[in-house]
Structure 1
Amino acid sequence: MRVALHTRIRPGREREYEQAHREVPAELVEAIRRAGAHEWTIWRSGPELFHLIECDDYEALLASLADLPVNIAWQARMGELLEVSHDYSGEGGAKTLPAVWRLP
């Protein structure tokens, strides 16, 4: 399945956000893959972030990562940098961007 998300960087924290993503812990990357993600790309336009995730099951991916210490630490770090965060709660799976159009 393909999932699109929107998050937003806190004003003035863009450089820190990009630096953090040059240092994503290998343990977290492996956990994301084990949770069923095949690809995850983030684009940035100013403070606005757009994520495209290719995964087996997005809600299962969230549930698998939600209580992992490496993800909890990462989300705490992102919480300092993001004004609108990625939602790992039980309702997070319903907060994806709806597809409007796609060229098949």
Structure 2
Amino acid sequence: MRVTPHTRVRADRVAEYEAAQREVPEELTDAVRAAGATSWTIRRSRTDLVHVLEGEDCARLLAEPEGLPVDVARQARMADLPDVVHDHSGDGADAGLPVVQELP
């Protein structure tokens, strides 16, 4: 299964957001993998970000780490970046990216 939550970050905070993403604690990546993630890539186009998550049960891999001390600390760190907007609605977290064109 693949889901694609969306994030938007303020233009003047892109570098800070990317720096924060390079500092994800190993304990948190281990927890996400243990919850079933096989891949998590974030792609950016200007200030729009698309998170491409893959795993057997993406709802589980998003929910299971919640509440772990390392996730609570991480969420607090990311909350310090104002105007980062996460779309966890049905149009975001559960939405796939439709294929518009694919090289045969």
Taking structure 1 as the reference length, the TM-score comes to: 0.80
More helix by share: 1
Q: Post-superposition shift, 1:5?
A: 1.4
Structure 2: distance between partners of 1:100 and 1:76: 32
Q: Post-superposition shift, 1:70?
A: 0.7
**Contiguous gaps of at least 5 residues in structure 1:** none
- Tell me if the contact between 2:3 and 2:54 (Cα under 8 Å) persists in the aligned partners: yes
* Equivalent position of 2:38 in the other structure: 38
* Equivalent position of 2:47 in the other structure: 47
* Equivalent position of 1:20 in the other structure: 20
* Equivalent position of 1:100 in the other structure: 98
Aligned-CA RMSD value: 2.1
AA aligned to 2:49 is L
* Equivalent position of 1:84 in the other structure: 85
- 1:54–1:98 distance in 2 versus 1, CA, 3 Å: closer
Q: Tell me, what secondary structure is at the counterpart of 1:67? A: coil
Q: Tell me, what secondary structure is at the counterpart of 1:54? A: strand
Q: Post-superposition shift, 1:60?
A: 1.3
AA aligned to 2:84 is E
Structure 2: distance between partners of 1:86 and 1:69: 23
- 1:20–1:13 distance in 2 versus 1, CA, 3 Å: same
AA aligned to 1:84 is V
Identity of aligned residues (%): 46
Runs of 4 or more, structure 1, over 4 Å off, are none
Q: Deviations over 1:3-39 (max 9, x none)?
A: 1111011331111111112211111110110011010
* Equivalent position of 1:73 in the other structure: 73
Bigger radius of gyration, 1 or 2? 2
